[in-house]
Amino acid sequence: MSKPHFNTIALIGIGLIGSSLARVIKREGLADHVIISTRSESTLARAKELGLGDAYTLDSGEAVKNADLVVVSVPVGSSGAVAKQIAGFLKPGAIVTDVGSTKSSVIAQMQPELPANVHFIPGHPLAGTEYSGPDAGFADLFINRWCILTPLEGTDATAIERLKTFWEACGSRLDTMDPAHHDRVLAIVSHLPHLIAYNIVGTASDLEEVTNSEVIKYSASGFRDFTRLAASDPTMWRDVCLHNKDAILEMLARFSEDLASLQRSVRWGDGDALFDLFTRTRAVRRGIIDAGQEIDAPDFGRQKATPPS
């Protein structure tokens, strides 16, 4: 596969996704020039210290002036404001994409602001960790992870193919979806699990009879793995909840019904129902491993902890 090449790529936002893109673009030689823009002076200074780009600016309009590809990597609630800031500076024919976890809202925010002579192709790389900021990124983040594009009707096919090739060069597997369908799928596979994790960790912190020392001390149990999700960026997940409200509420309702059924099984000692549920869900885990989206290693592949001295 021949690698795509852009003269200039502008990265608007340099958190986990943006900084990972900067690293893989540099490693794979996907652009001659990478311009980084973020509204935080300290974050921009850190990106410069790390050598993530070739030019750095707090002015997003200045950043996109000569860009062939613009990647907007900001919390979804800020997408419209960024589109408005860069609209008058984009060069004709530029590809503008994003990495947001909700698509219908991002499209509603960005599309009215962007000029008709650019190619707006919404996107979402399904890759991440609980860490954020320019130090959190790494070039291998996207390897074998899905990136979903939700192109609008009438979008130039050549531009779509060029963006697909870019993400493939970053290591991603590509798929396309209708924006509303994307939002429903992500509500169950990503948004709901994070909300459950935030809620469980919040519940544990509220239990007065369980001290913080006990929560930390015994967190080698399942609670520890919920805390990884619950450590994710608060701004990002606040915006996800606000901007994918309908799909999230639908999945929360489904989850509540299933939780009530589980509660009844436990209350009435229905061992058969419990066994059937646990067997079915175990098979889902096997399917994820077989699909190459997880490794089949004990303890989620973590390195063995060093015993305390």
Per-residue exposure over 114-140, b if at least 16 CB sit within 10 Å of its own CB, e if not: beeebbbbbbbbbbbeeebbbebbebe
Helices and strands: H and E segment counts in the chain: 13, 9
- For residue 164, give the amino acid letter: K
More confidently predicted of 139 and 227: 139
Mean pLDDT across 241-248 = 94
pLDDT of residue 253: 95
Residue 166's alpha-carbon distances to 67, 201, 213, in angstroms, are 15, 38, 47
- pLDDT, mean of residues 241-267: 94
Q: What does residue 297 show for φ and ψ, rounded to 5 degrees?
A: -135, 145
Residues 6+ apart with CB under 8 A from 78: 239
CATH of domain 6-177: 3.40.50.720
> What SS3 class is residue 242?
helix
Give pLDDT, residue 208: 56
Work out the average pLDDT over 107-122: 97
As a whole number, the mean pLDDT across the chain is: 89
What is the predicted pLDDT for the residue at 304? Answer: 42
Strands 55-57 and 69-72: unpaired
At the top level of CATH, which class does the domain 181-293 belong to? mainly alpha
Question: Are domains 6-177 and 181-293 of this chain identical in fold?
Answer: no
Non-local (6+) Cβ contacts of 83 within 8 A are 72, 96, 109, 110, 113, 114
* Residue 306 pLDDT: 39
First vs last Cα of the chain: how many Å apart?
A: 51
Percent of all residues in the chain with a pLDDT value above 90, rounded to a whole number: 72
> How far apart (Å, rounded) are the C-alpha atoms in residues 63 and 56?
8
Q: Could you tell me the residue ranges of all domains in the chain?
A: 6-177, 181-293
